Chain A
Amino acid sequence: MKVERLLQISVAVLAALGAMLLGGGETDDAALPIAAVLAAFISVYVTDIQRWFSLNRNLANVAALLAVAFSISDFWPGNSTEKLQAIAKLLIYLQIVLLFQRKSTRVYWHLCVLSLLQVVVAAALNLNVSFGFMLVAYMLAALTTLSLFFIYRETVRVDPILKAEHDAIDNRPVFALFGSRDEAGDGGGVMTEAVLLESRLPKNLATVFSSWQMFVQVCKLGIVTLIATVVCFYAFPRPSRDQWGGGLAGGLRETGFKDQISFDRMGRILQSDEMVMRVAFRSPVTDTPKESPLEPYFRGTVLNRYQIQTSSWITTYSPDDEGATQLPAAPPNVEMVRQLVVLNPRTRLVQTAHGHLLFSVYPAYRDQLTSSEIIDDRLAGFLSFAASDALGAKPSQYNVLIPWRPAELENRLLALESRDEDKTKLDWRTKSYLDSLEKVEVFAFGELQQTTRNVVESANVDQKNDFEVAQAIERFFTDEGGFSYTLEIDPRVRDPNLDPLEDFLVNHRSGHCEYFAGAMALMLRYQRIPSRIVVGYKGGEYNSVGNYYAVKQMHAHAWVEAYIPQKDLPESVRENYPTGAWLRLDPTPSGETEVVYEEKGGMLSKALDWFDYLELMWRDYVVEMNSERQENAIYKPFADRIWRPLGDWFNYEEWRLWVKEKAASVGVDIEGEWFSWYMSLLTIFCTIAGFGIYQSSRWFIRRFGQPLWRWVRRQLHFNRHGVTFYLQLERRLARRGMRRAPGQTPYEFVDSLRARLTPVAMDAIAPVVEAYYRVRFGGAVLSEEALSGIEDRLTTLQVELDQLDRSPRF
C-alpha cells in the first residue's frame, strides 16, 4: 500500500479518535462526534481513494467560516462548560470540512492540529479513566500518523513528480467542486537550467514503510512515550496546591444532592451511575482495610420541616456559634475506624452555614490526620468543611474517625449531647430544637393521622414508649403495610387532591425512600415524637481490589431519625445516653441499592472492581495531582529512599535550606512553597543544564576517551611489569618507521630489523630484548646496574639511528 494511502487512513483514524475523545466527555450532543467518525472514514473512500468528491479550497474556507459563525452563537451566551462544548463542536465542524478536501501537506497539518486541539478540549471535559485509555490509543495513532506524515513529506520533497502532484492540489482552480484526477507534472524540470538533477524514489518505499518493522518502530516509540509521560508527569513540579482548575470544570454537573426534598423531582438522578465519592474504612492502628458488615449510612444534611404548600422537606435550622465546633476527640474505650472519603472532583458540595457539606458516617471524631477545617454541628448532626466564602476551595478528600459498632442497636443510636453544665439535662437550645421537630399541622393530613393511630394501636406496643412506637411504625413500612419500592410512580394512581405523602401512605403505597422517610417523619410527629429526615447515601459498591465503597448517585438515600428520651431506651444502652438519643429508622423496604450490593461476586464483578479501582487511581494520581500530593506520593518517598542513604555526606535538608537562603538573598521568597513557579523554572534550568553537561561529557568522551584510555592502559602496563625500557625501544624504532606488526614477538621483530639496522645497533638492541623477556615473562626484577646498562644501550641505538637519518639515500 502506498505511503500516502496509509497516511490518509491513519489521519482518518486520528480524526475519529479525537472526535471520540470529545464524545466521551460531557458533550450534550453525541451525534456530532459520531458524525465526525463517520465522516472520517467516508472521506477516505470518497475523497481520497475514489476522488469522487472534494471541496475546493475556497469553498472549504467558506464552509469553515460558516462553521465559525454557527459556533459563535453557541459560544457567546453560555457558561464555561457550554463555551467549551461550543469549541468542541467548532473543531468537529472544521475537521469534517478538512476531511473532504484533497489532502496536501497543509491539510494534513491542519487535521493533525485540529485533532490535538480536540484532545485538549476533551481533557477539560472528560475526567474518567476511559479518557486515559483512549489517550493511549490516540497516542499510538498520532505516532503512526506523524511517522507516515514525515515519510510523505520527505518523498514529496525528493520526488519531482510527487511534488508536482502535491502542488497541483494546492493550486486547484476556484469552484472545482467535484474533484477530478489532477494531471501530474512530468517532473522533467525546465530544460533551460544550467544543471538539471533529478532523483526517483526507491522502489521498496511502500514495502519498507508498511512492513512489520515499522509497526515495531511505532511500538517502541509508544513505549518510550509512555515512560517519558509518566516520568515527566510526576517529576514536573506543580505550582499549585489546588486540585482542579475548577473555573472550567468545577460545575460540570450537580450531584442531585439537595438540601431539600421535593416530591415532584425524583427518579432520574437516583438511577445515575455517576460516582459521588469513595469511602474506605481502615484501622487507625494497623491501617488494614475494614469492611463494614452492615451497609454504612453516609450522612449528608438534615431536613426538619415539611412545607405543605410545596410538598417538600426543607431545612429551617439556624445554627448558632456554640453548636458548631471542631470535631471532638474520639472517646476512650470505643473501637474506632478511620473513614477516608475521596470525593469525585465533579461532585458539587452543598453549602451550609459553616461551609461545604460533607458526607460521613455519623458521629465522627478527629485524630492527627483529620483536617482542622472540618466543623461538626452536633445539634443538627452534619459535618461541614469550613470555607472562607461560598467560592472557597472544596476538599478532595478527608479523614475522620468513626465508631465501629457491630451491634445493630448501637449502630442506630446517636447520642444527644447537652450543652448544659449538667450533662444529664437538656439545655434550652436543644429543647427548643426538639420542640421544633414535633410541630405539625394539626388540621392537615387527617387520613394520615388516622392511619398512624391505627398503626400504633394495632401494633400492640406501649404507646407511651417512644422507642417501641417508632419501631412499630418502621415495621409498618418495611413489613406490614404492603408498601413497595419504586422509582417510577404512575401518575394515574395519584390523587391530586391529597398531599403526595398522605396519598402515598393511604392510597398507592409505592414510592422511593424519600416518600417512606417523609411519611414516617410525619407519622412520628403526630405521635409527639421529634423526628427529622436525614439525606445522604446508603452503602455503596464495595470494591474488593481497592477495599473501598464506591458511592454513586444511585445510592442516594433518605431515612428518619427520631428522638428517644433516655427513659424509653432499652435498658442495655440506657446508661450510655443520659439525655436520650436519636434513633435511626429506615422505613424503606429493600430497594435497588441493596440488590446491587448483594449481587457482587463473579468475574464481571471483579472486572468492574478493577475498572473502578483504576478509576480511583486515575483520579487520585492523575486528575487531582497537585503539589501536596506530588510531595507526599512522589518526592518524599523518592527523597527518603535516595537522599537518606546519602545523608552523611549530602544532607538533603541542609541543601534545601541553603537553596532557600540563597533564593531569599536575591529577593525570591520560596519559604513554604518548595514547589513554586521559581522551582519550576529552576527545574527547567536544571534539566537544560543537565542536558548540556550530558552532551559535553559525551563529546569529551568521544573526543578524548579512547586516547585517554589508551594512555591509562599504557601507564598501567608500564607500572605493572616495569618494562618501560622496552617500550621506549619500540617507540624509538617506530619513529623511524620500524613498527612491530600485530602478532609479531619481540624476537621476531628484532630479527626483521637486521637488514635495516647496522650491526652496532643490533648489538645494542639484543640485550634490551633479552632483559624484556626476563622481566615480562620470567618475573625478574632488574637491578639498578642492569637498568643503567640498558639505558646506555638505548643511547647507543639512538646514535646509530641518528646516523642512519643523515646517511645519503640512493
Chain B
Amino acid sequence: MSFWSRQGSMITREGTYYLLVMTFIVVGAMIRNFQLLMVLACMMVGPLLYNWRVVQGSLRRLKFSRKLSHSVCAGDPLLVELRVENSGRGAVYAVVACDVIEAVDGPKIGESCDVEVFFARVRNGIPESSTYRARVQHRGRYRVGPLETSTAFPLGLIRNTLKIGEIDDLIVYPRIGHLTPAWRRLIQDDRSGYAASRRTHGLHEGDFYGLREWRTGDPKQWIHWRTTAKRNQLVVRQFEKQSEQDVTIIVDAWVSPQPTPQEEASVERIVSIAASVVADLSAVGGCQMYLACAGAKTKSLHGSVSQAFVHEAMTILAEVTPAPHKSIDGCLLDALRVGRTGKVVLLSSRNLELSDTNTFQEVWNDHKVRSEIGRVICLSDARDELTNLFVDGAQISGAKESS
C-alpha cells in the first residue's frame, strides 16, 4: 500500500522538506533583515498554495470503474482495465490509481498486493483507460479494491487522496493440471465403455460429439483411425449421450494444527486434481458429478456437469481452506448416499485408509452405505499415490516458459 494512506489533502514528504527550507529562509531573512531572502521565501509560498488548490479540485470530478474477468486460474495472467471519466471543466493531470488485491477466502487469507496505475491526463468528456497485469499464484476468493486515487500535480508538494469504494470479486480457480490415462483407467466404471453405452442407449449412438481416447470396452468401429495414427494413441469417436462418466470426488483438505509446507502443498495438489477432473468432465459433459470438499468448511455440489456447475465447483475448490477437520466421515457418507453411480474418489492430503473405522465410523455403521464402499477409491498424497495420475499445472506452465 502506498504511504499516502490517509484521505484528503496532506503534505508529502517532499513538501515537508520544501516547507522546512522555506522556514529556514524566512527565519534567516528575519534575523538578518535580508529583504531579498524574504522575497525568495515569499516566492516559495505561491507554488505551495497553487499545488494545494489544484489537488483539492482535481479528484472530485473523476469517476473510476474497473473491468476484469470474474475468474481466472491460479498462475494465469489477468488483465485489469481501469477506466476514468472526468466530468469537471479542465483536464486533470498525473493521477495515480492504487488498486489492491486481497485474499478473503482460500488458503492465503489476508495476503494482499497493490499496484499503481498512472494516468497522464484525463480530459473532460474523454474517458481514459489503463490496464495492469495481475498474476495470482494461489487459488481463493480475492477482493479487488477499493481503489485509492491520488494526485499531487503539478509539484508533488501536496497530495490529495480519495478512496473510491468500488470493490470487485475475483475467484482464482485452482491450477488446472493434466490427468494421465492412468487416472482415467482408475475411475473407469465397470459399466463404462461400449457395455455401458449399450445398456443405456442400445446401438443408437446418437450424434457425433467429438473425439476421445480409447477406453476398455469401446467397440472397434468407434476408432477414429486417422487421429489415432496422428497421435499414436487409440482415439475413438464420441457420441452425444454416449458416455456417462458419473463420478464423485471428495477433497479432504486436512492439515495438522501447525501445518507444514508439505501438508499445504499436498492440499493444493489434491485440490488441483479435483479442479482438473471438473475441467476434464466439462469437456465431456452430460455426466453427473458429486463434489464434496472437507476443510475449514464443508461444501458439496451435485449435479449434471455444465458451465454453471463447473463455475460453482471451481469456486468451491478455490475457497477450500485447509484445516484439521473431522468432517471427512460425514462427507463420504453423504457422497455415497447422493452419488449413486460411478466411482467415488476420495482425495486426501493425509495418510487415510478406508479401513480406518474410527475415522469412517458413520460410514461403516450405516448398513445401506456400507455396501457401496466398494466404489470408493481412496488416494492419498501423503502416500504418494497421485504421482502417476496427475501432472501438476505449475510443472506444465514451467515447462512451457522454459521452452
Contact = CB atoms under 8 A, between A and B. Distances in A.
Nearest to A225: B46
A221 B35 contact: no
Interface in B29-63: 30, 32-43, 45-47, 49-50
A194 B25 contact: no
Interface in A191-239: 193-202, 204-205, 208-209, 213, 217-218, 220-221, 224-230, 232-233, 236, 238-239
A232 B94 CA distance: 29
A217 B35 CA distance: 29
Given A150-B152, A150-B156, A226-B46, A196 B33 contact: no
Interface string A718-762: 000000000000000000000000000000000000000000000
A623 B134 CA distance: 59
B156 A197 contact: no
B284 to A, nearest CB: 33
B142 to A, nearest CB: 8
B35 A236 contact: no
A622 B36 contact: yes
B367 to A, nearest CB: 47
Contact of A232 (B45, B101, B114, B155): B45
B132 A233 contact: no
Contacts of A116: 21
B160 to A, nearest CB: 14
B47 A194 contact: no
B136 interface: yes
A221 B137 contact: no
B338 interface: no
Contact of B40 (A123, A224, A227, A242): A123
Given A149-B156, A151-B94, A199-B116, A225 B43 contact: yes
Interface stretch (A243-251, A269-277, A663-671, A778-786): A243-251
A195 B112 contact: yes
Nearest to B113: A195
Nearest to B120: A208
Interface stretch (A139-147, A457-465, A631-639): A139-147
A624 B46 contact: no
* B: interface residue count bin: 35 or more
A791 to B, nearest CB: 46
Interface string B127-142: 0101111111110001
B34 A224 contact: no
A796 interface: no
A195 B101 contact: yes
Given A120-B40, A225-B47, A228-B42, A155 B118 contact: yes
A513 interface: no
Interface string A133-163: 0010001000100110111011101110000
A123 B121 CA distance: 38
A623 B25 CA distance: 16
Contacts of A119: 40
A285 to B, nearest CB: 33
A196 B113 contact: yes
Interface string B1-41: 00000000000001000000100010010101111111111
Given A116-B21, A150-B154, A154-B94, A199 B132 contact: yes
Nearest to A209: B120
Interface residues of A, number: 68
B25 to A, nearest CB: 6
A244 B33 contact: yes
Contacts of A158: 96, 116-118
A195 B130 CA distance: 19
Contacts of A62: none
Contact of A233 (B32, B42, B137): B42
A227 B116 contact: no
B214 interface: no
A244 B36 CA distance: 10
A132 B43 CA distance: 11
B153 interface: yes
Contacts of B138: 194
Interface in A700-716: none
A343 interface: no
B40 to A, nearest CB: 6
A493 interface: no
A127 to B, nearest CB: 7
Interface string A92-113: 0000000000000000000001
A194 B116 contact: no
Contact of A195 (B131, B134, B156): B134
A626 interface: yes
A37 to B, nearest CB: 21
A247 B32 CA distance: 8
A193 B132 CA distance: 16
A158 B2 CA distance: 11
Interface in A271-292: none
B30 A198 contact: no
A631 to B, nearest CB: 15
A391 to B, nearest CB: 16
Contacts of A547: none
Given A193-B137, A195-B134, A625-B38, 17 more contacts: A123-B34, A132-B39, A143-B47, A146-B47, A153-B156, A197-B135, A199-B115, A199-B132, A201-B120, A204-B121, A213-B121, A220-B50, A224-B50, A228-B42, A236-B42, A247-B32, A622-B36
17 contacts: A143-B47, A149-B156, A150-B152, A154-B118, A196-B135, A197-B101, A199-B131, A200-B132, A208-B120, A217-B154, A228-B42, A228-B46, A232-B42, A239-B30, A248-B34, A622-B39, A626-B33
Interface of A: 113, 116, 119-120, 123-124, 126-127, 131-132, 135, 139, 143, 146-147, 149-151, 153-155, 157-159, 193-202, 204-205, 208-209, 213, 217-218, 220-221, 224-230, 232-233, 236, 238-240, 242-245, 247-248, 622-626, 680
Interface of B: 14, 21, 25, 28, 30, 32-43, 45-47, 49-50, 91, 93-94, 96, 99, 101, 103, 108, 111-121, 128, 130-138, 142, 152-156
Q: Please provide the 10 A-B residue pairs with the shortest distance between their CB atoms, ordered closest to farther.
A: A225-B46, A228-B46, A197-B115, A150-B156, A123-B36, A245-B32, A195-B113, A199-B132, A232-B42, A245-B33
